Chain A
Amino acid sequence: MNAGKQPTLEVEDLRTHFFTKAGVVKAVDGVSFAVGQGEVLGLVGESGSGKSVTGFSILGLVDPPGRVVGGRILFKGEDLVPLGEDRMRALRGSRIAMIFQDPMMTLNPVLRVDTQMIEAILAHRKVSKAAAYDRARETLMRVGIASPDERLRSYPHQFSGGMRQRVAIAIALLNEPDLIIADEPTTALDVTIQAQILYEAQKLCRETGTALIWITHDLTVVAGLADRICVMYAGRDVEQGTVDQVLDHPLHPYTHGLIGSVPSRNRRGARLQQIPGMTPSLLNLAPGCAFRSRCPRATDRCEAEPTVTMRGDGRRVRCFNPVDADVSA
């Protein structure tokens, strides 16, 4: 983030809970991060850690029984949490766009691709249909789709998963948003296309100053793409820092376990390792550190809820016994 400049998005202690019949699911329960212009933030965590819910919270798309119950979401300095539906709708798809996790499900099966792209433009701009069509066509080419005219006339079921995801990415780009939230957008794509999309994403951020939140399981992707990493566990941010800091010297025992004990540049390219034990159920989570039952460094102190410690080097960690504590003690 450029010093002194206001970040595009600042999330402060976000809490999003689902009030289900079985009890309260604290899907997001204390997450803070910031992304500036042209910056890429990797949001990493295992399945169910609350990454997608964080993304939906930013867009104001959490449906009942879910609700944002605490924290602030500052978009260019304005808090989105109390914002009315009309104002929020004007931002969605225009200033903040999201690419969903499952490309097979994100396009409406009964509407043609041109309809689904053109409506996204017309919802925000007073332009002619023809102009919107041209814009859609141009954007499809930008994400590497050949013969866009033919594609625009097709229905989603005529596309492969990878092709659909590229259409979804193109839709996110249509209105040149200030912030894109990409929820595992490359998982369904093959390696070459993945690389191409990542390259395009990075280029886009650098050129247009779009801020990008890239949600993923895959450290390979984050290592090559992101500037900063935010690691989530059980709805909380447990560790944050630059890519080099977090990957080379993980502080939180969870991150440490994911990356493996030997810090090395070669580790970039490794997928997250399996950590023994189960992700705790977010339903009626017991107090204390949520990672306790799986943590090799757990002590009696961990019965209490750890708070975030700010480090001098701009890093943040939520742990009583971070990995470098022995060294410094």
Chain B
Amino acid sequence: MSVFIIRRLLQSLGVIFVMSMIVFFGVNVVGNPVDILASDDMTQEQIQAFVARLGLDRPIYEQYWYFVLNALRGDLGNSFVFAEPALKLILQRLPATLELALASMFLSVVIGIPLGIYAGLRPEARSSKVIMASSILGFSLPTFWVGLMFIMVFAVMLGWLPSTGRGDTTELLGIQVSFLTWDGLQHLLLPAINLALFKMSLVIRLARAGTREVALQDYVKFARAKGLSARRVVLVHIMKNIMIPVVTVLGLELGGVIAFSVVTETVFAWPGIGKLLIDSIQLLDRPVVVAYLIITVLMFILINLVVDILYSVLDPRVRLKDVKS
């Protein structure tokens, strides 16, 4: 197991290295940050001094070299815009994104799994067909459009829920969270549902497919032949088996949710890293973009590791293979 983890981490380092290079040079090609950052009334000298301060007068490979040296010391550079360490900017906003991502994961699991199992147990029922049709909608409607509709209906027309920001936050273990205050919870609801819809549809489909397959297995019939209640057969014998694919896919999706909460964060002005990324790309704030991507890749790797470990907890057959290898 530990060999496996170390190999994983080494691979990830390679990925981070290659990716930082692509982003570093890529952003450079897209445009010159000086054009955006320098204001019109600056003199030529002022601009030169500004450029020199940011280190942008050096050749690009030299800039990259200094970037790598600094990065190894945990310094991902200062934001051109905020003149603050890029890493700090990201870590400040990470809790908001994590909260949104976890809330939407939570919603997609607690709503998606029961609906999926129900539809899998009664594939012919009308209610199951409604569930499956809705899940197709959840898949195919674009997130930003659904988000805008949510705002229009629930915030503008009905006025039930707020449409922007995080609302009141409280501190939990040194991190600011919204879900513990009533106001924060209200702010969280719409973006979380918006971000959850796609995942929920995925969970419904996975849970339904899994249930249909598992329900036909001999071991489920045998469980019934033992005289177990329908409840126990479904909640233990069927559910434990369908959780394996659900956890795998959801775990991998969690990375995606964090990385691509960009759309939802932009629509609902949610102050997370997704919104920071969009702003930084527009301003060609290279250090922040690079730092964002590095942090995201790190999170992906971490999450995948956790998923693998969870997977072996859920499926005893995987555990055996590990012992052998």
Answer yes or no: are A and B bound together in one complex: yes
Which residues from chain A sit less than 8 Å from chain B, CB to CB?
56, 59, 61, 85, 89-94, 97-98, 100, 102, 105-112, 116, 119-120, 123-124, 155, 157-158, 168, 171
| Closest beta carbon of chain A to B320's beta carbon, Å | 7
| Closest beta carbon of chain B to A216's beta carbon, Å | 18
Q: Flag if A110 contacts B314 (CB, 8 Å).
A: yes
Q: List 16 A-B contacts (CB under 8 A).
A: A92-B225, A92-B227, A94-B227, A100-B221, A105-B217, A105-B219, A108-B241, A109-B241, A109-B317, A110-B315, A111-B237, A111-B240, A112-B316, A119-B232, A119-B236, A123-B228
Q: Flag if A123 contacts B218 (CB, 8 Å).
A: no
Q: Hey, which chain B residues are within 8 Å of A94, CB to CB?
A: 227
Q: Does B226 reach chain A (CB closer than 8 Å)?
A: yes
| Closest beta carbon of chain B to A57's beta carbon, Å | 13
Complex alpha-carbon distance, A92 and B228, angstroms? 8
In the complex formed, the residue of B with least CB distance to A98 is: B225
Q: Hey, which chain A residues are within 8 Å of B229, CB to CB?
A: 89, 123
Complex alpha-carbon distance, A37 and B225, angstroms? 21
Q: Flag if A92 contacts B316 (CB, 8 Å).
A: no
Say yes or no: A157-B225 contact (C-beta < 8 A), given A110-B315, A119-B232, A123-B232: no
Q: Does B224 reach chain A (CB closer than 8 Å)?
A: yes
Complex alpha-carbon distance, A90 and B229, angstroms? 9
Q: Does B23 reach chain A (CB closer than 8 Å)?
A: no
In the complex formed, the residue of B with least CB distance to A90 is: B227
Say yes or no: A93-B219 contact (C-beta < 8 A), given A109-B241, A157-B320: no
Q: Flag if A106 contacts B226 (CB, 8 Å).
A: no
Q: Hey, which chain B residues are within 8 Å of A100, CB to CB?
A: 218, 221-222, 225
Q: Hey, which chain A residues are within 8 Å of B232, CB to CB?
A: 119, 123
Q: Flag if A109 contacts B226 (CB, 8 Å).
A: no
Q: Flag if A120 contacts B219 (CB, 8 Å).
A: no
Complex alpha-carbon distance, A109 and B314, angstroms? 10
Q: Hey, which chain A residues are within 8 Å of B68, CB to CB?
A: none
Q: Flag if A123 contacts B226 (CB, 8 Å).
A: yes
Number of B interface residues in the complex (CB < 8 A): 25
Count chain A CB atoms within 10 A of each CB in B227, B229, B237, B240 and give the residue with the most.
Answer: B227
| Closest beta carbon of chain A to B266's beta carbon, Å | 41
| Closest beta carbon of chain A to B79's beta carbon, Å | 49
Q: A89-B228, A109-B315, A110-B316 are in contact. List 8 more A-B contacts (CB 8 A).
A: A90-B227, A94-B227, A100-B218, A106-B219, A111-B236, A119-B228, A119-B232, A120-B227
| Closest beta carbon of chain A to B29's beta carbon, Å | 51
Q: Flag if A91 contacts B315 (CB, 8 Å).
A: no
Complex alpha-carbon distance, A92 and B223, angstroms? 10
Q: Hey, which chain B residues are within 8 Å of A123, CB to CB?
A: 226-229, 232
In the complex formed, the residue of B with least CB distance to A85 is: B230
In the complex formed, the residue of B with least CB distance to A101 is: B218
Q: Hey, which chain B residues are within 8 Å of A61, CB to CB?
A: 221, 224-225
6 smallest CB-CB distances across A and B, nearest first, come from A93-B227, A105-B218, A93-B226, A92-B227, A155-B316, A120-B226
| Closest beta carbon of chain B to A206's beta carbon, Å | 24
Q: Hey, which chain A residues are within 8 Å of B237, CB to CB?
A: 108, 111
Say yes or no: A119-B226 contact (C-beta < 8 A), given A110-B241, A111-B236, A158-B320: yes
Complex alpha-carbon distance, A86 and B241, angstroms? 25
Q: Hey, which chain A residues are within 8 Å of B218, CB to CB?
A: 100, 102, 105-106
| Closest beta carbon of chain B to A218's beta carbon, Å | 21
Complex alpha-carbon distance, A61 and B233, angstroms? 14
Q: Hey, which chain A residues are within 8 Å of B230, CB to CB?
A: 85
In the complex formed, the residue of A with least CB distance to B317 is: A157
Q: Flag if B222 contacts A106 (CB, 8 Å).
A: yes
Q: Flag if B225 contacts A59 (CB, 8 Å).
A: yes
Complex alpha-carbon distance, A109 and B319, angstroms? 12
Q: Hey, which chain A residues are within 8 Å of B219, CB to CB?
A: 105-109
In the complex formed, the residue of A with least CB distance to B220 is: A108
- Mask: chain B, 201-233; 1 = CB below 8 Å from A; 0 = not: 000000000000000011111111111111010
Complex alpha-carbon distance, A107 and B227, angstroms? 15
Complex alpha-carbon distance, A168 and B223, angstroms? 11
Complex alpha-carbon distance, A223 and B166, angstroms? 78
Q: Flag if A124 contacts B227 (CB, 8 Å).
A: yes
Complex alpha-carbon distance, A161 and B123, angstroms? 33
Complex alpha-carbon distance, A59 and B223, angstroms? 12
| Closest beta carbon of chain A to B258's beta carbon, Å | 29
Complex alpha-carbon distance, A107 and B217, angstroms? 10
Q: Flag if A93 contacts B225 (CB, 8 Å).
A: yes
Complex alpha-carbon distance, A59 and B226, angstroms? 10
Q: Hey, which chain B residues are within 8 Å of A93, CB to CB?
A: 225-228
Q: Flag if A92 contacts B224 (CB, 8 Å).
A: yes
Q: Hey, which chain A residues are within 8 Å of B227, CB to CB?
A: 89-94, 120, 123-124
Complex alpha-carbon distance, A165 and B315, angstroms? 22
Count chain A CB atoms within 10 A of each CB in B218, B219, B236, B315 and give the residue with the most.
Answer: B219
Q: Hey, which chain A residues are within 8 Å of B314, CB to CB?
A: 110
| Closest beta carbon of chain B to A276's beta carbon, Å | 33
Complex alpha-carbon distance, A53 and B90, angstroms? 63
| Closest beta carbon of chain B to A270's beta carbon, Å | 30
| Closest beta carbon of chain B to A181's beta carbon, Å | 9
In the complex formed, the residue of B with least CB distance to A91 is: B227
Complex alpha-carbon distance, A116 and B220, angstroms? 11
In the complex formed, the residue of A with least CB distance to B232 is: A119
| Closest beta carbon of chain B to A300's beta carbon, Å | 44
Complex alpha-carbon distance, A109 and B227, angstroms? 19
In the complex formed, the residue of A with least CB distance to B223 is: A108
In the complex formed, the residue of A with least CB distance to B319 is: A155
Q: Flag if A92 contacts B226 (CB, 8 Å).
A: yes
Q: Hey, which chain A residues are within 8 Å of B226, CB to CB?
A: 92-93, 97, 119-120, 123, 171
Count chain B CB atoms within 10 A of each CB in A90, A91, A120, A171 and give the residue with the most.
Answer: A120
